[in-house]
């Protein structure tokens, strides 16, 4: 990856981070703070899914390897985070 691509990735990462924070603040303003915080647990599941799909669909851009045990461990961890976040709502 050349320097131009690395800079573009960093800039897009920061821009998407700002958009994410703004959207979370908007969701809190419009709805239940507890529910919004519980849905943040879903963020980990979506992030894992996006990374997995990018690894399979664009291996030149995003180089990651996943073993079955890593996928199982990540899945269990995501489920536990979602359950823990959901407990705030209940």
Q: What is the pLDDT of residues 5-57, one digit of tens each?
A: 888 888 998 998 899 888 888 888 888 777 777 677 677 788 888 888 888 88
Give residue 43's pLDDT: 78
For residue 14, what pLDDT is reported? Answer: 92
- Extract the tokens encoding 39: 């849905």
78, 44 contact by CB (below 8 A): yes
Rg (CA), the chain: 16
Q: What is the pLDDT of residue 9?
A: 85
Tokens of 71: 């996928």
- Pick the more confident residue, 38 or 67: 67
């Amino acid at each position: 990856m050349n320097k131009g691509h690395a800079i573009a990735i960093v800039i897009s990462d920061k821009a998407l981070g700002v958009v994410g924070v703004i959207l979370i603040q908007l969701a809190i303003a419009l709805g239940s703070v507890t529910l919004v915080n519980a849905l943040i647990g879903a963020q980990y599941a979506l992030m894992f899914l996006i990374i997995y799909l990018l690894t399979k669909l664009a291996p030149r851009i995003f180089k990651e390897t996943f073993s079955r045990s890593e996928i199982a461990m990540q899945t269990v961890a995501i489920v536990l985070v979602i359950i823990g976040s959901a407990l705030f709502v209940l």
